[in-house]
Amino acid sequence: MKQYTLAIFVIALVWACNNPGVSNSDGDLGQSVFKKNCKLCHGADGKQMLNGAKDLNLSTMTLEERINIITNGKKVMVPFKDVLTAEQIKAVAQYTKDTFKSGK
């Protein structure tokens, strides 16, 4: 009986560790969203400026402003509110803020 309880405990522990919801995957989510939806215009390093896109490394926008432009778009940049969830938008906004920093 004791062994049985232990086995259940071990299985539960392994499951908890493998469950992606448990680990903090926010950075990964932002990166994968960026690669799929933003790289086209902004480039993997944020420097590409296709169709008049801004160099994200020079952006001084706050997280809220980024969420806003990603959600609603601006000029050539398409709105993503029908494409991405609020969670994805927030993750990718955070990703651009953390990853592309001004060299200055």
Q: Which residues bind ligand HEC (CB under 6 A)?
A: 34, 37-38, 40-42, 51-54, 56, 59, 61, 66, 69-70, 74-78, 80, 92, 96
Min dist. Cβ of residue 21 to ligand HEC (A): 23
> Bridge-partner residues for 77, per DSSP?
74
Min dist. Cβ of residue 85 to ligand HEC (A): 12
Q: What SS3 string covers 7-59?
A: HHHHHHHHHHHHCCCCCCCHHHHHHHHHHHHCHHHHCCCCCCCHHHCCCHHHC
Min dist. Cβ of residue 25 to ligand HEC (A): 18
| Residue among 2 and 82 whose Cβ is closer to ligand HEC | 82
Q: Hey, what's the torsion of the CAs at 44, 45, 50, 51, to 10 degrees? A: 100
| Residue among 26 and 78 whose Cβ is closer to ligand HEC | 78
